[in-house]
A = this chain, B = another copy of it.
Amino acid sequence: MKWAISRRAQQLTSSAIREILKVTERPEVISFAGGLPSPASFPVAAMEAAVARVFADNPQAALQYASTEGYLPLREFVAKRYNVGVERVLITTGSQQALDLIAKVMIDPGSPVLVETPSYLGALQAFSLFEPEFVSVPTDERGLLPDALTRELTHGARFLYALPNFQNPTGRRLPLERRQALIARAKELDLLIVEDDPYGELSYTGDQLPTLLSMNPDGVIYMGSFSKILAPGLRLGFVIAPPELHFKLCQAKQASDLHTPSFTQRLAYESVRDGLLERHIPTIRDLYGKQCEVMLDALTRHMPAGVTWNRPEGGMFIWVELPEGLDSMKILEEAVRRNVAYVPGAPFYAGAPRKNTLRLAFVTVPPERIEQGVTILGELFREAIAQASPQPRAA
């Protein structure tokens, strides 16, 4: 039997990277590839106590259908935390679902959508299913360049997708002045911003810059997540949007999964209602900051000249640049043979990729394994540089 599938489904092809990275599940592989938070950071005891309260309070409500917008106390918790009206808050099945809903509501085939260079792969995938035309916004090592948002570049754009805090994949944080300039520019251009902020509270020193949402609540759709501050296996995110867009997002969500599980929403609310996050987030910051230091230190000692990287102020990722001309995708195969994995940078680019880039995740790997893995990568990159140098330039 032969069926016709949709044009968007035909575009979905098996990822070469995913095939290579499948082997990283072998225990002998030191993987800097995963984007997983450290399970050591999950507040298991608090959540076990919370689930007992869910069963004690009203188990039948936790097991029944519920409203599309989400569990009201959890929505109120989010609204208070972000100082917005609860009528703007929609609970989503992870913030990946928020990407899907935003795409459903905002993107027609061929609609221009502005993205950072590079940007979050999961967003590019979610948006791609709705066939936008991606427009790459130039960036430097501190994030996107507000001045690059000209009338020409942004013409007809449905929105700008921005990750101002410890961006996945680069770990970059957008400085305050740029946030201010970006908001001013967006207002001038009548440009909607989609702010994706799963890592905003994971600054290692605890300092936080204002969200774009707080600077212009009526011009920003804000996406947040409990994945990095509580537990990703609950698949709980939220989207804060101006009322008319909130309403459309709710309609799209109803068609997509009716509502996010009542049970996980109540579990999360019972976990966080008494100030757990205030006690818990500092321990995550501390853990991730230390892990980051270990990796930065190892990079300094083991990377050959010509390899550069940034020094993140928070989050889970370091962005590495190899000398121009090297291809991190090709090198990955040999890295995996030597039992170390990372994610090549190319797939994070909507437009022409910088093939000499790669992403390192450090939060789940024990310090001695970080040291060992970076040592191996240092040797490998040194060999790759040596091999590349004497050869004539590729056509």
Contact = CB atoms under 8 A, between A and B. Distances in A.
10 contacts: A9-B106, A37-B64, A44-B60, A44-B63, A51-B51, A64-B232, A65-B227, A100-B255, A235-B260, A264-B264
B65 A42 contact: no
A60 B48 contact: no
B55 A39 contact: no
A1 B218 CA distance: 8
Interface string A257-269: 1111111100100
Given A8-B104, A39-B61, 7 more contacts: A2-B190, A6-B111, A9-B251, A93-B260, A128-B255, A234-B263, A263-B264
Given A2-B190, A105-B9, A255-B129, A62 B100 contact: no
Given A6-B104, A104-B6, A261-B234, A1 B48 contact: no
Contacts of A65: 36, 227, 232-233
Nearest to A249: B9
A382 B234 CA distance: 51
A261 B258 contact: no
Contacts of A233: 61-66, 261-263
B63 A232 contact: yes
A273 to B, nearest CB: 18
B261 A93 contact: yes
Interface residues of A, number: 75
A227 B242 CA distance: 32
Contacts of A62: 233
A182 interface: no
Contacts of A12: 248, 251-252
Contacts of A254: 125
A94 to B, nearest CB: 5
The 7 closest A-B pairs by CB, nearest first: A233-B262, A63-B231, A39-B60, A63-B233, A235-B261, A12-B251, A9-B105
B63 A256 contact: no
A37 B63 CA distance: 10
Given A3-B192, A233-B263, A256-B100, A36 B55 contact: no
A62 B129 CA distance: 29
Nearest to A59: B44
Given A233-B262, A255-B125, A64 B39 contact: yes
A259 B140 CA distance: 33
Contact of A257 (B36, B64, B97, B242): B97
A299 interface: no
A7 interface: yes
Nearest to A13: B251
A189 B338 CA distance: 52
Contacts of A126: 255-256
A235 to B, nearest CB: 4
A380 B235 CA distance: 46
A64 B235 CA distance: 9
A233 B192 CA distance: 34
A96 B260 CA distance: 11
